C-alpha cells in the first residue's frame, strides 16, 4: 500500500523534520502528512514545468482551476457556487488575517474558539484587535463549541467577527447542521461576521459525520467567508495555495481591498496542483481516508490502554488532541520529547495539559511512536 511507504524527508528542509534535526525524536507535530502526493498531481506539475515559463499568472482567469473548485464543491458538498465567488489566497492564514482587516476596526473584538491552532489564535492581536476566547465542551464523547458562551460574548456590540475552525483543529470535531444553524443565528442576530477556516473539510473520518460549508447556510445571505484548500488533503501545503468563497459582492470587495498590496498572488504550480487534485484524484482521496481511519482507530485503541492519557477520537483531520493531565507531569510536551516523540505542544493551542499528535504517517511510524510512549508512561 502506497501510504505504508516511508519517504526520507531529512534532505528536503522539511519544517517538520528540521525541528528535531540531530535528535532521536520522531516528529509528529506540524499538520502536513508523510504521504507521497497522488501521481496525477505530480504528472500535472511536471507537465506545467516543462512549459518552461513560471511568470505571473492571473488566478481569477485560470478557468480550469476555478472550474475544478466549482465542480469539487458541487460533488463533495452539494454546494452550487459561481466562479466569481472564488478569491485565491496563498494560504488560509493570510486569508483570515485579511478578513480581520477587511471586517474590523482597531480595538474591535474577535471571537476565537479554543483550543485552536497558533496562527489563528494570534490573528486578532496582529491586527490590533481584541481576542475573546470561546471554549470547547465535551458532549456525548465529542468536542464542540460552547455555544452558550458564544451567544453571551457575541452580544457585546464590540464583537465584529467570529473566526471559526470547522473541522476543528486540534480537537477534530465536525460541527453538526444544528450547531451550525445556531451559530448562524447567533452571528446574524448580533451583526457578527463569520470567517470559517475549513481547510480540513475533505478529511472526514467519521462516516456518520457530514461537513457543511458555512457559506452554504442560507441564514448568512452569502456574507460568510469560507476558507478552503487542497493543501492538507493532498499534501501540497508547500505550494501555498488556498481560496476563499465569498458570495456577497460587498463582502468580497472589502476582502479584496484589504488584501491588495499585502497578499501576493498564488503560484502557478499551486493552481496546477489544485486543479489536478480536484479533478483526477478521487480514488487516491478515498484510499487516503481509509488509511487515516485505520490510523485513527489504532491510535485511539492504544492511547486508551495508557494510564494518564485521554483521547476523544477525532471525527476529522489527521490530528489527535491528547489530554495528558492524568500523567501528573509538569510539562507534557517535554515528557513526550524525552520519550522520543515530538508532538505539537498543547500550550500553543491554549491548553498546556494536552499535546497534539499528527497521525498522517505510515502505520509503522505510528506504531513506533506508541511503543516509545508506552515505554515511559
Domain annotation covers residue 343: yes
Same-domain status, 238 and 327: no
Same-domain status, 241 and 305: no
Domain annotation covers residue 153: yes
pLDDT of 1 > 80? The answer is no
Angle between helices 268-280 and 63-77 (to 10 degrees): 40
Residue pLDDT, tens place only, 100-145: 999 999 999 999 999 999 999 999 999 999 999 999 999 999 999 9
* Cβ–Cβ under 8 Å, residues 60 and 86: yes
Residue pLDDT, tens place only, 332-342: 999 999 999 99
The overall pTM is greater than 0.85: yes
Q: Which of 264, 280, 296 is the last residue of a domain?
A: 280
With cell 484510499, the residue in question is: 287
* Cβ–Cβ under 8 Å, residues 112 and 276: no
CA dist., res. 364 & res. 369, Å (int): 9
Which residue range is the domain that position 353 belongs to? 2-39+282-376
Q: Which of 226, 245, 280 is the last residue of a domain?
A: 280
Same-domain status, 254 and 286: no
Quick one: average pLDDT of 272-281? 98
Same-domain status, 221 and 79: yes
Domain annotation covers residue 99: yes
Same-domain status, 201 and 314: no
Grid coordinates representing 122 are: 494570534
With cell 473566526, the residue in question is: 163
* Cβ–Cβ under 8 Å, residues 360 and 366: no
CA dist., res. 246 & res. 223, Å (int): 7
Residue pLDDT, tens place only, 285-294: 999 999 999 9
Q: Which of 280, 315, 348 is the last residue of a domain?
A: 280
Which pLDDT band holds residue 376 (cuts at 50, 70, 90)? confident
CATH number for the domain spanning 158: value is 3.40.640.10
| Partner residues linked to 341 by β-bridges | 26
| pLDDT, position 377 | 75
Number of domains in the chain: 2
Same-domain status, 286 and 276: no
Peptide bond into 115 cis (omega under 30): yes
* Cβ–Cβ under 8 Å, residues 114 and 107: no
Domain annotation covers residue 46: no
Quick one: average pLDDT of 288-306? 98
CATH number for the domain spanning 302: value is 3.90.1150.10
**Within a 10 A sphere around the Cβ of 321, how many other Cβ atoms?**
27
Amino acid at each position: 500500500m502506497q501510504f505504508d511507504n516511508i519517504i526520507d524527508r531529512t534532505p528536503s528542509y522539511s519544517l517538520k523534520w528540521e525541528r528535531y534535526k540531530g535528535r532521536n525524536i520522531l516528529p509528529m507535530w506540524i499538520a502536513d502528512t508523510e504521504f507521497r502526493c497522488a501521481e496525477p498531481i505530480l504528472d500535472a506539475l511536471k507537465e506545467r514545468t516543462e512549459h518552461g515559463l513560471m511568470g505571473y499568472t492571473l488566478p481569477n482567469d485560470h478557468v480550469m482551476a476555478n472550474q475544478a473548485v466549482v465542480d469539487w464543491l458541487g460533488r463533495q458538498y452539494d454546494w452550487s457556487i459561481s466562479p466569481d465567488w472564488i478569491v485565491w489566497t496563498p494560504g488560509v492564514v493570510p486569508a483570515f488575517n485579511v478578513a480581520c482587516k477587511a471586517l474590523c476596526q482597531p480595538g474591535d473584538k474577535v471571537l476565537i474558539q479554543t483550543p485552536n491552532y497558533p496562527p489563528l489564535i494570534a490573528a486578532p492581536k496582529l491586527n490590533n484587535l481584541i481576542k475573546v476566547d470561546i471554549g470547547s465542551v465535551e458532549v456525548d464523547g465529542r468536542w464542540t463549541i460552547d455555544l452558550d458562551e458564544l451567544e453571551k460574548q457575541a452580544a457585546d456590540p464590540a464583537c465584529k467577527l467570529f473566526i471559526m475552525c470547522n473541522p476543528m483543529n486540534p480537537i477534530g470535531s465536525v460541527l453538526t447542521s444544528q450547531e451550525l444553524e445556531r451559530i448562524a443565528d447567533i452571528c446574524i442576530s448580533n451583526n457578527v461576521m463569520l470567517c470559517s477556516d475549513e481547510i480540513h473539510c475533505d478529511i472526514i473520518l467519521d462516516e456518520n459525520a457530514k461537513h457543511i460549508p458555512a457559506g452554504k447556510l442560507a441564514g448568512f445571505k452569502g456574507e460568510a467567508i469560507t476558507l478552503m484548500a487542497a493543501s492538507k488533503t493532498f499534501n501540497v501545503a508547500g505550494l501555498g495555495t488556498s481560496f476563499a468563497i465569498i458570495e456577497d459582492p460587498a463582502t468580497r470587495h472589502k476582502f479584496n481591498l484589504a488584501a491588495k498590496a499585502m497578499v501576493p498572488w498564488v503560484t502557478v504550480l499551486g493552481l496546477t496542483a489544485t486543479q489536478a487534485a480536484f479533478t483526477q484524484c478521487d480514488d487516491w482521496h478515498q484510499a487516503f481516508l481509509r488509511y487515516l481511519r485505520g490510523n485513527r482507530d489504532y491510535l485511539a485503541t492504544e492511547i486508551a490502554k495508557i494510564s494518564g492519557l485521554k483521547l476523544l477520537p477525532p471525527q476529522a483531520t489527521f490530528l489527535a488532541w491528547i489530554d495528558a493531565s492524568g500523567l501528573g507531569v509538569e510539562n507534557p510536551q517535554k515528557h513526550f520529547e524525552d520519550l522520543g516523540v515530538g508532538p505539537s505542544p498543547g500550550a500553543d493551542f491554549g491548553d498546556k495539559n494536552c499535546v497534539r499528535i499528527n497521525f498522517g504517517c505510515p502505520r509503522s511510524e505510528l506504531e513506533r511512536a506508541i511503543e516509545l510512549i508506552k515505554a515511559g508512561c
